[in-house]
Amino acid sequence: FRKGILRFEEQNEETKKTLIKQEPDYGEIVCRCEKVTKKEILEAVNNPLGARSLISIKYRTRVMMGRCQGGYCQNRIMEILRESFKLSPQEITLKGNNSYLLTGYRSNEVSKSCQKEKLLSLEEELLV
């Protein structure tokens, strides 16, 4: 048998305190509705099957299954994926393959270069 992810919410108070002392990521609640911790998400991401999309993390941990349907926790989960796999935001998918969540994302460098180009073209128009 493969050992499943420990559900922090199902533990008694004494066990919760012990877990937080051993691993501080158990103390960070990512999903308020289902009370899923950062450690649970990291376990889903780092297990041998390696959850890489939001839906695969959802099925393994119950994040995004509560009242808000991910409205509170989706950005936090995306940040964990970005940090774990060194992904850009537009590389994160909902279900894998081509189910990208973000398009048209610009880094500060790209935005700054576009602003410079616009200023140059405005200056050229004024000179003509």
Q: What is the pLDDT of residues 51-88, one digit of tens each?
A: 889 999 999 999 999 999 998 999 999 999 999 888 88
**CA 30, CA 66: separation in Å to the nearest integer?**
12
Q: What are phi and psi of 26, to 5 degrees?
A: -70, -20
Task: Render pLDDT for 10-32 as a digit per residue (tens, 0 to 9).
Answer: 999 999 999 999 999 999 999 99
What pLDDT is recorded for position 4?
81
Mean pLDDT of all residues belonging to the chain: 84
For residue 104, the one-letter residue type is: G
**What is the rounded (10 degree) CA torsion for 89, 94, 96, 101?**
-40
When comparing pLDDT for 101 and 41, which is higher? 41
pTM across the whole model: 0.73
